[in-house]
A and B are shown apart, each in its own frame.
Chain A
Amino acid sequence: MTSVTNAEAPPRVSPGRRLSTFFYRHPRLRLAALLALPVGWMVVVYLGSLVVLLLSAFWDTDPFTAEVVREFTLDNFRDLFERDVYRDVAWRTIRMAALVTVADAVLAFPIAFYMARVASSRTRNLLIVAVLMPLWASYLVKVIAWRTVLSSGGVVNWGLEPFGVQFDGLSTVGLWLVFTYLWLPFMILPIYAGLERIPNSLLEASADLGARATTTFLRVILPLAFPAVVAGSIFTFSLTLGDYIAPGLITSEQFIGTVIYQRRGENLPIAAAFAFVPIVVMILYLLVARRLRAFESL
């Protein structure tokens, strides 16, 4: 054994310094130290919660006390399939999601096109902010605003009065309008990004080959922008499927969200089982979207 003794006194090493050296020598441990908190949080709080939700879909409730009974059962899912109520509600919600998606695509396209291909870069940046800001304004407040606008004494009916028309805004049609409004920016932004990526040379080539503007639009721009529309539709579709506040405030009709919301207190297992419907629909939707190359335009 040879012990090396330094002639000079070793430099004073602070604990922080020593820790740094240690971590520098063990980068894996440093990585672990960085990841421990965020990964721990996500796994314990979020993924853990999802697992609990999935499990509770297979539990039962005591019909008298409404207490959750932790015994495995498929009854909740049998109920979902066999009882017309749930099927009707699921269909109504999916239909609503589809109609909202179509309306948003139609409304979003012109402004996205204007932003991407017509506006100057200054106007474009202003418009991006103008489209993004309302996304952050309270969702609930926007729903309330629409409730006021659509109600019998609201702006819409005031505007229709001279024509002798009465519009029942607090209805399924009204809800369709509200959803279209709420998710519109989610559709505008992907379409804008998709349109912006189309090289000008393609459009010029189309014109050079003798295509008129409408032909170029229909046969060049639209096919190229379609994946972006699908990308936007992921948001409009998913958000409509899971919403319970807007349907509750605008209509008396039941949607997937409102049913889950109402059942959550009295029968958590059936609420959890019903929550599978939007999850499964969204998974299928995402699979189709991937087929249509929508992810590349996200």
Chain B
Amino acid sequence: MVESRLTRVLLRLGAGVTLAFIYLPLLLIGLYAFNRNVTQEWPIRNYSTRWFRVAFEDEQVRDALQLSLLAGVGATVVSLVLGTLAALAVSRYRFFGREVISFAVILPIALPGIITGLALQATILDVFGPLGLSFGLATIILGHATFCVVVVYNNAIARLRRTAGSLDEASADLGADSLQTFRYVMFPQLRSALLAGALLAFALSFDEVIVTIFTAGAQQTLPIWIFATLSRPAELPVVNVVALFVILLSIIPVYIAQRIAGAGALATERTVRGPVAPTIEAEP
């Protein structure tokens, strides 16, 4: 070790301060959810769980939750299919334009969300609209799936790189057809990677707001409901409860995904809005 003792103590301190900076606001939102008063003042004087009841009985919140869950599941299913297919093609074949695919999959999260959102809005309005697709659940899924593909793709391709294509061939030699090979040979190897990818895709979709505002029309997902309700001070306590709920529902799948596939699985998305991924080797 080259670093002196003092440097190490200072570094530890710096790391601690940064971590505190990262986590304190999240903890505070958790505390505010239990604030009994309507005014958002610090320190919190009375704690209660009354706003949880109010939140769960709120019709709008329930509708928004339902829409968010549907959108999350829809986007996850679509991106599972698209991401797996693309990963299989890229990992098992060499072809012209192979690099372009990895790039095209990452592009939707590499460009600022407002550009993806605006582009989708213009297209839904001008192109898909006349074809009969109006703003709603379908267009929300359309947008979400587009930027969720990358998490499934990244997880699947990382796994496929470590598994041998010769197994697929052996399976075919033993008389399995393509579907059987996928079901009995490839899928068991891919399962945990796909599960991690799916959980991340769901988490990504569930709390997305920047693109969703452009593709949802008059519909409200849970984050859009929060965004719209922020301007009504009387409802802020309910917003805090819903916010806590959204945090939990996006962090829990991510935590599970990380347990399944290692921290590397997480590093593939938001850390990697750029052209290439900083790979973090932390296999279980």
What is the interface of chain A, defined by CB distance below 8 A to chain B?
14, 16-17, 19-20, 23-24, 27, 31, 34-35, 37-39, 41-42, 45-50, 52-53, 56, 68, 107-108, 110-111, 113-115, 117-118, 125, 127-142, 144-149, 151, 153-155, 158, 181, 184-186, 188-190, 192-193, 200, 203-204, 207, 213, 216, 231, 234-235, 238-239, 241-245, 249, 257, 260-261, 264, 268, 271-272, 275, 278-279, 282, 286, 295, 297-298
Contacts and interface: CB of A to CB of B under 8 A. Distances in A.
Contacts of B85: 34-35, 37-38
A298 B86 contact: no
Contacts of A107: 18, 21
A24 B270 CA distance: 38
B251 interface: yes
B247 A141 contact: yes
B277 interface: yes
Contacts of A115: 15
B72 interface: no
A138 B25 contact: no
Contacts of B22: 130-131, 134, 181, 184-185
B55 interface: no
A231 B118 contact: no
B209 A241 contact: no
8 contacts: A16-B180, A35-B85, A53-B115, A127-B19, A137-B251, A140-B226, A213-B3, A261-B114
B65 interface: no
Nearest to B143: A45
B160 interface: no
A238 B112 contact: yes
A246 to B, nearest CB: 10
Contacts of B145: 41
Nearest to B16: A111
B251 A133 contact: yes
Given A140-B223, A186-B271, A181 B207 contact: no
B127 A149 contact: no
Interface string B128-165: 00000000000000100110010000000000000000
A80 to B, nearest CB: 15
Contact of B112 (A35, A144, A243, A271): A243
B105 interface: yes
Contacts of B108: 46
B271 A189 contact: yes
B226 to A, nearest CB: 6
Given A110-B15, A244-B210, A260-B114, A38 B82 contact: yes
B14 A111 contact: yes
Closest 6 A/B residue pairs (Cβ): A242-B112, A110-B14, A138-B207, A16-B177, A49-B119, A53-B119
The secondary structure that dominates the A interface is helix
A131 B105 CA distance: 25
Contacts of B179: 16
Contacts of A136: 200, 203-204, 250-251, 254, 266, 270
Contacts of B142: 45
Contacts of B282: 125, 128
Contacts of A145: 25-26, 28-29, 243
Contacts of A213: 2-4, 7
B82 A133 contact: no
Interface stretch (B36-44, B46-54, B56-64, B187-195): B36-44
A142 B26 contact: yes
Nearest to A17: B177
A136 B271 CA distance: 10
Contacts of A114: 11-12, 14-15
B66 interface: no
Nearest to A136: B254
A249 B120 CA distance: 24
Contacts of A144: 29, 226, 230, 239-240, 243
Contacts of A19: 177-178
A134 B186 CA distance: 33
B249 to A, nearest CB: 9
Given A46-B146, A138-B207, A140-B226, A231 B2 contact: no
Contacts of A264: 118, 121, 214
A181 B275 contact: no
Contacts of A239: 112, 273
B99 interface: no
A108 to B, nearest CB: 7
A125 B86 contact: no
A242 B18 contact: no
A53 B118 contact: yes
B123 A52 contact: yes
B225 to A, nearest CB: 10
B2 A141 contact: no
Contact of B21 (A42, A148, A151, A181): A181
A16 B176 CA distance: 9
A41 B82 contact: yes
Interface string B251-273: 10011001000010011001111
Nearest to B108: A46
B104 interface: yes
A155 B276 contact: no
A136 B269 CA distance: 9
